[in-house]
Amino acid sequence: MSDEAVIVGAEIVAGHDGSAELVVRLRHPNGTEAPVVLDEVTGLKLMKNCGASHVDDLTGQSWRRIVEGS
């Protein structure tokens, strides 16, 4: 098990402002999982930071990639 939170899934959802947003599911070191909703700009930046061109490519990435360069 990783000693930091990792992304274990991601899904596209509708955001409050009418844009598409990204829900990433994080698994924490203690085994719990929780969703984090990223707005469109942050979600696109995460995909770029991870070199991902499909939401499934985010699986296994560190939570740190979400805040990278922000």
47 lines the binding site for another protein (CB under 8 A)? yes
Residues contacting another protein: total by CB under 8 A: 29
The widest CA-to-CA distance across the chain, in whole angstroms, is: 37
Work out whether 30 is an interface residue with another protein (CB under 8 A).
no
CB of 46 to another protein, least distance (A): 10
Alpha-carbon gap, residue 55 to 64, rounded angstroms: 17
Residues that bind another protein (CB under 8 A): 11-23, 34-40, 43-44, 47-48, 53-57
